[in-house]
Amino acid sequence: MTATETAPTADVVATPQNKLTLVIVVSALVIIALDATILNVAIPTILDDFDTQLPSLQWVLTGYSLTFATFLIIGGRLGDIYGARRMFIIGALLFGVGSLIASISTSVPELLLGEALIEGIGASLMMPATLAILSTTFTGPSRARAFAVWGATAGASLAFGPLVGGFLTTNYSWRWSFRVNLVVVPLAVIGALLFIRRTPPSGRRQRIDVPGAFLVAAGTFLLVFALSEGGAYGWITPVRDFTVLGHVVWPGSMSLSVIPMIFVLSLVLLSQFYVVERRKERFDLDPLFEFGQLRHLGFRYGLLTTCVLAMGQLGFLFVLPVFLQDGKHLSALENGLWLVPSGLFIVAGAQLGGRLTRFVNTTLVVRVGLTLEAVGLFLIGMVITPGITLLSLLPGFALFGIGLGFASSQLTNVVLSEIPRERTGTASGANSTVRQLGAALGIAVIGSLLTTETIRGSLERVRASTLPTALKEHALGQLHTAGVAYTAPTGTSAADRATLSRIIESAIASGARPALFFGAIVVAAGACLSLLIPQVRIVGEIDHSDGIETVDPVEALDVLPAH
């Protein structure tokens, strides 16, 4: 890692070194994506081990995503200045240290330090670097296939996270969720040192934009927090006290929730970030993020479409597990097993989408993928009933997974296609940031819709039931606050308990359907939005004699005007 880092002049895209680069990048991506969902199924076990309550553990569960989203653009910019490979290695080492601390933690603060803070920072350095490395290593048709592998890994890892977490927690310990990282990280670091090419330094020593870094970090943190925690603290009316380090900052007795105030503050900070960055850009003062890059239509509308895509994906991964666990009463491991087909279809879709770019333009693959994903979500919503079977879910899983595989992999390819090589890190950070924002927005909006419709359905069914009057009044009073976690009081007969259980199961199904339909509408809107993205086709020659693809290293991507 010296100042004399150089890049290849000509790219033979199927070389063993490039293949190893892809393997290293994908292995790192797996542990980054898994950590976003792998602990969710281990919550009860961790609560017992640490003898704590859910509110104290909540910061651990959301902290990783918050830290990750907060520093993504900063991590991408550092990669542009100091080299993507260097940031990848530093990020991986930090991720490993955080995993070690989390794996041996004996209290919530230690777990918070390792998983939420140190791992989150490490991931924010690694993720933009993975995209920048792929963007500068691969060209032509192999670039599409490399991004297909990246997209398949990201999508499938999110789907497989609950399964892996459930398996490790049930058969070994939740701590193995972190110990696995301690095996992958050293191999990724050694592989990066040996096989990933060093990126060239910029023409001059660039300054780090400290004011911009502070503004975007603080603004992004507050925005993601508000989107993620709006349901917990109340979107408008306060639900409970807002505390920081044990001190009440915003009492629940206030007439307005703290969430709208956090939204306003985040928008003020992000608006100021825009003003500062545009000024630095005009005077060539090394801005953290060049808003002028948004003149590239693929980058501009690709980012918006990415946000919508993430909303649909994370909405699905939030709604269906809740339904299966609370409506079907599946165990954590069974829940994960039911989601396996969706992950397999994502992998298949990403690979098929990557190959299709050899025959049709990349943007068309994205549009088809978004359409298939929307139809898949609609079909899944149609079959949601308390008596649902895995077989009835498969058609929806197939369309959703294949569509997501098409769109998620090649959309990243489109987003980065027009960005200069020396700005791919920052652009990759922006791409990952809008993914996180879309995920938080999807969980917040779709999750809120699920909760609201479930409670409303439960209340309607309880009122219409033949339950004893006293039990009805108790249920109507408690369902507002307890939701699907409501349990009948002591002394309730077995028959009445069974009736209440059927009522809640049916209400969860009736709540999951509109939530999934809304997700389908959001993704369909993304498909319409993708019409604004210019068509991108890959230009390259294929040597059919040995299966190795080569491209013109001067012009690997040709961006055409949208029709």
Summarize pLDDT for 287-308 with one digit per residue, the tens.
988 898 898 888 999 999 988 8
Is residue 59 pLDDT above 90, yes or no?
no
- Residue 150 near residue 134 (C-beta atoms within 8 A): yes
Q: What are the pLDDT digits (tens) for 403-419?
A: 988 988 788 888 888 88
pLDDT greater than 80 at residue 115 = yes
Question: Is the CA virtual torsion 547, 553, 555, 558 positive or negative?
Answer: positive
- Check pLDDT > 70 for residue 471: yes
Distances from the Cα of 150 to the Cαs of 155, 429, 472, in angstroms? 9, 15, 52
Highest averaged pLDDT of the listed ranges 77-81, 100-104, 424-428: 100-104
For the chain, what percent of residues have pLDDT higher than 90? Answer: 31
pLDDT at 551: 38
**pLDDT exceeds cutoff 70 at 197:** yes
Q: What is the pLDDT of residue 214?
A: 93
> Does pLDDT of 11 surpass 80?
no
């190893």: which residue's tokens? 20
Structure confidence at residue 44 (pLDDT):
67
Tokens of 209: 């934009």
Find residue 559's DSSP bridge partners.
536
How high is the pLDDT of residue 256?
A: 93
Average pLDDT over residues 441-450: 80
* Fold of the domain spanning 16-208+286-454+512-559: Growth Hormone; Chain: A; (1.20.1250)
pLDDT, averaged across the chain:
83
Question: Can you name the residues that pair with 343 across neighbouring β-strands?
Answer: none
- Element (H or E) spanning 542, and its range? strand 541-542
* Higher pLDDT pick, 139 / 31: 31
Hey, is 223 helix, strand or coil?
A: helix
* DSSP tally for the chain: helices H, then strands E: 18, 6
Rounded-to-integer distance, Cα 185 and Cα 364, Å: 36
Confidence band, pLDDT 50/70/90 cuts, at residue 40: low
Looking at residue 290, its amino acid is E
Query: Rounded distance, CA 182 to CA 31, Å?
Result: 10
Mean pLDDT of 222-237: 84
Q: How far is CA 563 from the centre of its chain?
A: 31
* Tens of pLDDT, residues 238-254: 988 888 766 888 998 89
Residues 6+ apart with CB under 8 A from 155: 313, 343, 346, 347, 350, 401, 404, 405, 408
Average pLDDT over every residue of 135-164: 81
pTM: 0.77
DSSP state of 327: I
CA-to-CA distance for 11 and 303, rounded, in angstroms? 28
Task: Tell me whether strands 549-550 and 242-244 are parallel, antiparallel or unpaired.
Answer: unpaired
61-78 tens-digit pLDDT:
778 888 888 898 899 989
Strands 242-244 and 247-250: antiparallel
* DSSP at 359: T
448 sits in which H/E element: helix 424-464
State how far the alpha carbon of 50 is from the alpha carbons of 59, 115, 130, 430, in Å.
14, 15, 35, 37
Which tokens hold the place of 129?
């670097």
**Sequence-ordered list of residues with C-beta below 8 angstroms from that of 348, at least 6 positions apart, any chain:** 401, 402, 405
Task: Identify the H or E element spanning 39.
Answer: none
Closest to 455 in 3D by CA, of 497, 413, 510, 495 = 510
**Rounded Cα–Cα distance for residues 525 and 515 (Å):** 15
